[in-house]
Structure 1
Amino acid sequence: MPEQQERNRIVPPAIGTGARGRTLSFYGKLLDLIVIALIFVMLLTLLGALVGLAYDFAVAVSTLHEAAAVQGLTHIHGLVEDLGQGLVIDVLSTFVLIELFRTFTDYLEFHRIRLRVLAEVGIVFVLREIFIGLYAHRMDSTELLAIAALLAVLVAARVAAVQFPPRRNET
């Protein structure tokens, strides 16, 4: 009797058949093409940021060398601080771009944005803002506490995503 019930059971059609399957397949391919184009744009942006960082570093070294020759080493502390702050911001922004690039490539591989990767992007971005604010001495205590709370939530989300990964059969 169980064999008869198995034969009479209604089996839904596979996704790959019919107009619905073709539409979903076309949608998936189109979405992949869009993500690939975004990855290409992110790669160009990342390369541009790297070239800009190298250029800014060369300009900073040249400016410091000229200032040391003209003013002597005792008067260039402010210049070093200004140039250093610009370089720190550029380096931290490049790390944010690297994390965003990783998010897009991760989406292309798994066809979903994983919470762990998204939390890591948020953590890097918040850390960038904290470092820039502290380096420029422009953060007050309430702003620092609010950003620290946001950072704690992002870290907790990342830890939860690592501790409780989705099951294999969930999409």
Structure 2
Amino acid sequence: MTQALLLNLYRRATRLVFNLVLVTLLLGLFVGVGRSFLELGLTFTEPTVRLGLKDLVTNTLSLIIVLELVRVFVDYFEFERVRLEVLLEIGVALALRELLLLLFAEELSGLDLFLRTLGILALVAGRTLAVQFSPRRSP
């Protein structure tokens, strides 16, 4: 009896925490989208187009990452598990964001660019394998 009560309490606490995190992420997403639209004018006022585009790309990629995180939380509520393919998509988005930021800052050597690109390709291959061998598919 106490085990069922504790398990029920755990489920309720988990749902409450996940709901709070989901609401926070959604609020952050809406604020980020609003700020991106407000800062769109900076693209035209920056001394060079490149600086304005750098900020725009950075904000857009950050919003994509937050959107993917929201998707993870929604998937958790829907399936009561986190799918590997979604986590790998977040990894790809994070790696692409960092790669583009370093490219804009011109802080990458040829070898660094090659190794980071290989890492992104490995994440994409892992995601492809996760989709191909998903537990819900029959062999």
TM-score, length-normalised on structure 1?
A: 0.73
Q: Give 1:113 deviation, angstroms.
A: 1.2
Stretches of 4+ aligned residues off by more than 3 angstroms:
none
Match of 2:108 among 117, 139, 155: 139
Contact 1:53–1:87 (Cα < 8 Å) also in 2? yes
By how many angstroms is 1:32 displaced?
1.0
Please state how far the C-alpha of 1:135 moved relative to its aligned partner.
Answer: 2.9
- C-alpha deviation, 1:30, in angstroms: 0.9
Counterpart in the other structure of 2:60: 91
- Which whole-Å CA distance do the structure 1 matches of 2:50 and 2:134 have between them? 44
Quick check: 2:43–2:51 contact (8 Å CA) kept in 1?
no
Which residue is equivalent to 1:28?
Answer: 11
CA RMSD of aligned residues (A): 1.8
1:41 to 14, 24, 28: 24
- The sequence identity of aligned pairs, in percent, is 32
Kept after mapping to 1: 8 A contact 2:76/2:82: yes
Which runs of no fewer than 5 residues in structure 1 stay unpaired? Answer: 1-17, 65-77
1:104 partner amino acid: F
Work out the CA distance in 2 between the residues paired with 1:90 and 1:106.
Answer: 24
Give distance in 2, aligned partners of 1:163 and 1:80.
42
Deviations 1:98-151 (A, max 9, x none): 111111111121121110100011111111112222233221122212212221
In our comparison, the structure showing a higher alpha carbon Rg is: 1
Deviation at 1:167, TM superposition (A): 5.2
2:43 counterpart of 1:79: no
Contact 1:36 1:108 (8 Å CA) reproduced: no
Contact 1:107 1:113 in 2 (8 A): yes
User: 2:87 maps to what in 1?
Assistant: 118
Q: Gaps spanning 5+ residues in structure 2: where?
A: none
| Letter of the 2:2 counterpart | A
Task: Kindly provide the CA deviation profile for residues 62-105 of structure 1, in whole angstroms up to 9, marking residues without a partner as x.
Answer: x26xxxxxxxxxxxxx5211111111111111111111111111
Q: Secondary structure at the match of 1:104?
A: helix
Aligned length: 137
